[in-house]
Copies of this chain bind each other. A is one copy, B any other.
Amino acid sequence: MSEKLMDVDLLNDIAQEEFEEIYPILKKQLEKLHRDIWDKGIPVIVVFEGCDFPHAIDIIGKFLLPLDPRGFKYHHISPSSEPDLDHPFMWNFWIQSPSRGQIAIFDHSWYARLLSMSIDGFDDRIDEIMNFEKMLSDDGTLFIKFFMHADVESISSYIHKWYGFASDDSLCHDNSISSSHMKGILDTTSTHYAPWTIVESICPEYAIIKVMSTVIKRIQTALSQDSAVPSPTSNAQVNSSCALPFRNYKVKDREYKGELANLQARMKVRQKELHELGQSLIIVFEGRDASGKGGAISRLTSSLNPRTYTVVPIYAPNDVELGHHYLWRFYKMLPLRGHITIFDRSWYGRVLVERVEGLATGDEWRRAYREINDFERSVVNDGVKIIKIWLEIDKNVQLKRFIDRAENPDKVWKITADDWRSRQQWHQYTEAVEDMLQFTSTEYAPWTVIEGNDKNYARLRILHTILDRTSDI
């Protein structure tokens, strides 16, 4: 951040005649640049933050005027709106993040939400904010953040004029919190990829010109770069020395049936307990083709109350999802309080199929380890438990199951040319799986690897794992 909050001359202003000369020029420039970022597919996030600043509507309104409504979405984060307790802190901002070529304008943002919170967990939230900005910016999003600055007198008189009374519904209601924290927050969160610009907003004409010329400059810089996506620095080192544990366990049918019924009954009770406690649970199933994910999931759910669990099968993203950061769609699928969401494949597609099939660049899948860890940490911080299961089979078992499917008219739909093709990349998948287990098995969301050669064994083991991991609730 080049400017400091305290050094700014709040009395900066501009004459009306000068404004009327400059504004139409900037308006035209921005109109043109808006089409350019659209054509180039660059997502842009513009943040207006600060107290309930004077002339807010005029300033933002004048900024919106040249924008084509097809290409932007305006979000007002009202101080009076209840924080969303059913979802993680950054959830709705993720949901509202712009798709490629779109501008999302936040009239107050995650920073206002942060300030409205109690001090408890403040640092975690700052981390989440910085992860959010880093992840989206690594994915090509341009961040333009404005801190609209004014003195307390101007703000009070503005609020009084606009609302007709001293509003409690103001983002300045507790000035002591705002001022003591704000400077620190601005310093901490002003990064090279998402810097703050302080705007003196007592004179609205001055503020409008400063906002528009900053946006124009930042967009021009982004357009002049070779690629919209800045090159990330990965903090994950790839190596493949970590081998999967593997033994051939077997469970006989008779033993299996009794044990299964017992575990399912316990699972049914556990689901009710989780629901009553409001404890949410995510269960991630990953595994090679034909490793038995579907069968295991149906054994898990067959005794459960459908009212508080969902199975979410993950396939190739549709065109709306492709327009967003790859984690976007998973944010939309997080469980409600007290509910269980079972993912049949998940965000790990980024470091598995997308890595092996070349659907993500090396930069993209390498930085995904950190992104996924950050994502899971923020979910866990919000009280959701995550259980991740890797179901492993060996190459012969997969072949046997593929042939079985191909020869059985009831199962033939389950096997496709893709399956045979990805089988040829067995080794590349193994490497990807080993990296995934090594880099994303965290204390708060560890992987459990389960041997799936014997379906009976795997199904019981999975139920045991889930019961064990939820026994401490």
Contact = CB atoms under 8 A, between A and B. Distances in A.
A302 interface: yes
Nearest to A61: B306
Nearest to A74: B306
A344 interface: yes
Interface string A35-77: 1000000000000000000000100110011001110001010
Given A64-B306, A302-B61, A35 B344 contact: no
Contact of A318 (B31, B61, B320): B320
Interface in A245-276: none
Contact of A320 (B32, B76, B320): B320
Chain A contact-residue range equals 35 or more
Interface string A289-323: 00000100110001111110011110100111000
Contacts of A302: 61, 65
Given A57-B307, A60-B306, A35 B297 contact: no
Contact of A76 (B297, B307, B410): B307
Contacts of A320: 318-320
Contacts of A32: 410
Given A65-B298, A298-B65, A307 B107 contact: yes
Interface in A371-418: 410, 413
Contacts of A65: 298, 302
A107 B60 contact: no
A413 B76 CA distance: 30
A344 B69 contact: yes
A313 B72 CA distance: 10
Given A318-B320, A319-B319, A413-B35, A306 B57 contact: yes
Nearest to A303: B61
A285 to B, nearest CB: 11
25 contacts: A28-B410, A31-B410, A32-B410, A35-B413, A57-B305, A61-B302, A61-B303, A61-B304, A61-B305, A61-B306, A65-B298, A68-B294, A69-B312, A69-B344, A70-B313, A70-B315, A74-B306, A74-B310, A76-B306, A78-B307, A318-B319, A318-B320, A319-B319, A319-B320, A320-B320
Interface of A: 28, 31-32, 35, 57, 60-61, 64-65, 68-70, 74, 76, 78, 107, 294, 297-298, 302-307, 310-313, 315, 318-320, 344, 410, 413
